[in-house]
Structure 1
């Protein structure tokens, strides 16, 4: 479900279209000298804003999908780590080697990133700041890689089970890194998309929020403060969220 702020952005763009409709109805009387207030520029600004809104939605969905893909990739990591230690204990490995493996496993089990997480709704708003779980995933990879290095260095560790073999673990670690990096990349993409949207709607002096205010002032100057024309546009509300 979209957040209140996301809905607010779309409402501002829809209200800007209402403003354009009234301005269009004024015909040749609406003739501002400032280029950014002219009708073609207003129409172009609205089209740009719609493109920016669509891009945010697309990038947001992509981010949540990458988060879900990472969750699946990490889902069995803790249980697999325990299985690996158990497998090592059935070899000729020394007590020291087994203890090293157990240390990495304890670190693995202590991290917050968990298989009990529920999938993220692809339409849910992505966070405005990078999640603290990102570090947990980074550390899970680090600890699992450490465990793999212990197994790799033990000559007697030669399991018949494919999923426990060092070569399989090497491939899994590469996949975990890929999935984790994809989340970070997609977060950057949604963050940049939001910045671009906010510039078009709010932070630019030629953005929708400021332009709408200037259009209202121009209509007021042309038709008068008590005119029905100014009454039409003055009632169109534009909100500016905290950015």
Structure 2
């Protein structure tokens, strides 16, 4: 669970903890503000807890989709290196065509051509990341590369992994993987929005309401008492 999610969970857990302390006070806890009544606070906690559970149940499908996409895209850079060698050995391929290949390959790998005078091994260390590393852009560049190979007359490798039909299948898998991430993100994002409204953003949100409940408790408790000191350590913070 991320640090942010841990913070949300802590606020909700602290709400339950404060409700427990309020229940121990019994009739002594008697605020004039109905929003601070224990029944209302418990309902607010139960709602927030349910919304957090919805978030939790939405995280796994999204994480699995992201992991699947990363695993699918991971071999691309190494494959492009081998494809370049295969393309270079193709009968009739010119230096201009090879440069076209490399221009697309650099976009797929997220590097720029080095225009400095540095040559040899050092040149590999001066590759600069560019903004074409999103999965949509990489998939698009993969399609552009496939088109180049498809329109090269003598590019007809015997090895299945380098054949145009195989590359096209890989492109389809890339598109599907990215769509799965998008599809699984929608319910997660919705769940987080609902949870955040309950805990932070609504007019009568959990954090503000429980902080008010704490303030009221401080008016009826002895500042030197153990219960007062314990309650003072229960924090409710905006994300």
| TM-score of the alignment, normalized to the shorter chain, above 0.5 | yes
Structure 1 match to 2:108: 108
Residues 1:102 and 1:209: Cα distance change in structure 2 (over 3 Å):
closer
> Which residue in 2 is equivalent to 1:39?
38
Partner-residue secondary structure (3-state), 2:134: helix
How many residues end up aligned between the 2 structures?
A: 221
Change (3 A) 1:161 1:32: same
Contact 1:111–1:140 under 8 Å retained in 2: no
Question: Displaced runs of 4+ in structure 1, greater than 6 A?
Answer: 224-230
Q: Residue 147 of structure 1: SS of its match in structure 2?
A: helix
Gaps of 5+ in 2: 113-129
Q: Which residue number in structure 2 is paired with residue 81 of structure 1?
A: 80
Instruction: Give the whole-Å Cα distance in 2 for the aligned partners of 1:56 and 1:205.
Output: 21
Q: Is the 8 A contact 1:16 1:212 kept in 2?
A: yes
| TM superposition shift of 1:175 | 1.0
* Alpha-carbon distance between aligned partners in 2 of 1:53 and 1:134, rounded to the nearest angstrom: 35
- Aligned residues: CA RMSD: 3.4
Verify: 1:231 aligned to 2:228, yes or no: yes
Q: Could you tell me how far apart the structure 2 residues matched to 1:87 and 1:144 are?
A: 16
* Contact preservation (8 Å) 2:87, 2:93: no
Shift of 1:74: 0.9
Q: Which 10-residue stretch deviates more, 197-206 or 103-112?
A: 103-112
**Residues 65-144 of structure 1 correspond to what in structure 2 (within 5 A)?**
65-95=64-94, 96-111=96-111, 135-144=133-142
Query: Could you tell me how far apart the structure 1 residues matched to 2:218 and 2:90 are?
Result: 86
Instruction: Give the conservation status (yes or no) of the 8 Å contact 2:139–2:171.
Output: yes
Partner of 1:123: none
User: Closer, same or farther in 2 for the Cα pair 1:79/1:19, shift >3 Å?
Assistant: closer
Q: In structure 2, the residue corresponding to 1:43 is in which secondary structure?
A: helix
Deviation at 1:189, TM superposition (A): 4.5
> For the structure 1 residues 52 and 133, does the alpha-carbon distance in structure 2 shift closer, same or farther, using more than 3 Å as the test?
farther
Q: Deviations over 1:116-155 (max 9, x none)?
A: xxxxxxxxxxxxxxxx988433332222211100111223
- Structure 1: state its 5+ residue gaps: 113-131
Q: Find 2:198's aligned residue among 182, 197, 200.
A: 200
Separation of aligned partners in 1, 2:223 and 2:110: 68
CA deviations on 1:141-195 (whole Å, 9 max, x unpaired) are 2222111001112232222222212111111111112222333444454444333
Residues 109 and 224 of structure 1: CA distance in aligned 2, closer, same or farther (over 3 Å)? closer
The aligned counterpart of 2:20 is 21
Alpha-carbon distance in structure 2 between the residues aligned to 1:190 and 1:111:
33
Counterpart contact for 1:141–1:176, Cα < 8 Å: yes
Answer whether contact 1:15 1:236 (CA < 8 A) is retained: no
User: Is the 8 Å Cα contact of residues 216 and 230 (structure 1) preserved in structure 2?
Assistant: no
Partner SS state of residue 157, structure 2 = coil
1:174 equivalenced with 2:172 (yes/no): yes
TM-score normalised by structure 1 residue count: 0.72
